[in-house]
C-alpha cells in the first residue's frame, strides 16, 4: 500500500498513515483504508490502533486540492450527486461497525475529514503539543460532509456542536479534552493507544462486539428499540463459553478478593476465547 503501513503484535494492529508533508487524506488513501477494514475482520485481530507516521500531523484534513477539482467540474459533480460523501460515510460506518475496538492516536493535527475519521473510532487519544482538532470547513465555503455534523452532534450535543462547526473552531488538545472531543491526553498518543488496545484485546470477543452494537445501534434508535438490542446482546453473551467461564472464575474468588479480580482483568485474560 502507498499510504498505510501496518504492524501486528499480540492481536493488535497498528495502522499508520503517511502522506507528507501535510498528511492530507485523499481518495487513494481512503480506498486503502477500506481494504484494510475488510482485512481486520479476521478473528485473529482483536483491536486496531490508527496513527500517523508523519510528525505533527495525524490526518490534517481531506485534500482541498481534490475537493476543488471536484467542485470545479460542475457538470460531473451534478451527475455524481452525493456519491462522494455517501462513499465516505460508508467507509467510516464500516470502521465504526467493526466488532472490535478501534483506538485512534491523534498524534498531530486532525481536522476536517481527518477529525471525522477520529469521530468514527471508539476511543480517541489526544497528544500534548501544538496540535489542532476540529472542523474548519465553513472557512472554505463548504460544510463537514464526511459525517462531521452528525457525529459531533451525537458526541457533544447539538447545541455545542452547532457553535463549534459554525465557527469553524480548531481546538488545542487540552481544550478538546475539556469539550469531550477526546477521551484522554498523553505525551505519546501512540504508546497510550497501543496500551489500551492491548487491554481491549484481552477482553471477551463477543462481549466487545455486543457492547459496540448495543451502544451504537441503540443510540440511533428509540429507547425501547435500544433496550431490545441490549437484551439480545446480553442473551448472546450469557450463552457464550467466555461468559460462563469468567463468571465461574469470579464467584470462585473469596469475597474480599473479588474487586481485585475485576481490576486484574485489564492485565491478564482468563477467557477461553483467547
Residue 22 belongs to domain with CATH number: 3.90.226.10
Residue 269 has pLDDT above 70, yes or no: no
Q: Which domain holds residue 78?
A: 4-201
**pLDDT given for residue 173 in this prediction:** 98
Q: Quote the radius of gyration of the chain (alpha carbons, Å).
A: 20
Number of compact structural domains in the chain: 2
Pair (160, 24) in one structural domain: yes
Average pLDDT over residues 193-199: 97
Length of the chain: 274
Pair (146, 50) in one structural domain: yes
User: Quick one: cell of 75?
Assistant: 457538470
**pLDDT given for residue 268 in this prediction:** 53
Q: Measured between alpha carbons, how far is 149 from 249 in angstroms, rounded to an integer? A: 45
Pair (54, 135) in one structural domain: yes
Residue 177 has pLDDT above 60, yes or no: yes
Pair (99, 217) in one structural domain: no
Task: Provide the percentage of residues in the chain whose pLDDT is more than 70.
Answer: 97
**pLDDT given for residue 22 in this prediction:** 96
Task: Provide the percentage of residues in the chain whose pLDDT is more than 90.
Answer: 96
- Residue carrying the nine cell digits 482538532: 133
Average pLDDT over residues 184-192: 98
Asked if the structure places residue 269 within a domain, the reply is: no
Q: How confident is the model at residue 272 (pLDDT cuts 50, 70, 90)?
A: very low
Instruction: Look at strands 12-17 and 4-9 and give their pairing.
Output: antiparallel
The model's pLDDT over 216-242, given as tens digits with 9 standing for 90+, comes to 999 999 999 999 999 999 999 999 999
Residue 271 has pLDDT above 60, yes or no: no
Asked if the structure places residue 272 within a domain, the reply is: no
**pLDDT given for residue 273 in this prediction:** 42
Asked if the structure places residue 168 within a domain, the reply is: yes
Amino acid at each position: 500500500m502507498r499510504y498505510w503501513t501496518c504492524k501486528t503484535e499480540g492481536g493488535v494492529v497498528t495502522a499508520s498513515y503517511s502522506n507528507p508533508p501535510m498528511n492530507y487524506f485523499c481518495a487513494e488513501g481512503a480506498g486503502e483504508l477500506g481494504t484494510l477494514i475488510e482485512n481486520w475482520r479476521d478473528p485473529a485481530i482483536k483491536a486496531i490502533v490508527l496513527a500517523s507516521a508523519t510528525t505533527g500531523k495525524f490526518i490534517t484534513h481531506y485534500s482541498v486540492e481534490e475537493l476543488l477539482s471536484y467542485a470545479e467540474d460542475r457538470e460531473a459533480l451534478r451527475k455524481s450527486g452525493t456519491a462522494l460523501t455517501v462513499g465516505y460515510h460508508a467507509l467510516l460506518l464500516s470502521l465504526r461497525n467493526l466488532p472490535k475496538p478501534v483506538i485512534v492516536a491523534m498524534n498531530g493535527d486532525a481536522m476536517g475529514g481527518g477529525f471525522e475519521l477520529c469521530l468514527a473510532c471508539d476511543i480517541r487519544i489526544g497528544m500534548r503539543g501544538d496540535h489542532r482538532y476540529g472542523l474548519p470547513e465553513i472557512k472554505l465555503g463548504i460544510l463537514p460532509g464526511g459525517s462531521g455534523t452528525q457525529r459531533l452532534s451525537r458526541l457533544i450535543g447539538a447545541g455545542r456542536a452547532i457553535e463549534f462547526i459554525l465557527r469553524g473552531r480548531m481546538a488545542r488538545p487540552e481544550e478538546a479534552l475539556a469539550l469531550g472531543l477526546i477521551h484522554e491526553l498523553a505525551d505519546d498518543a501512540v504508546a497510550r493507544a497501543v496500551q489500551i488496545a492491548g487491554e481491549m484485546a484481552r477482553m471477551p470477543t463477543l462481549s466487545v462486539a455486543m457492547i459496540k452494537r448495543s451502544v451504537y445501534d441503540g443510540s440511533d434508535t428509540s429507547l425501547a428499540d435500544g433496550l431490545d438490542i441490549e437484551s439480545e446482546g446480553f442473551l448472546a453473551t450469557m450463552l457464550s463459553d467466555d461468559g460462563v467461564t469468567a463468571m465461574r472464575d469470579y464467584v470462585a474468588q473469596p469475597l474480599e478478593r473479588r474487586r481485585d479480580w475485576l481490576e486484574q482483568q485489564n492485565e491478564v485474560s482468563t477467557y477461553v476465547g483467547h
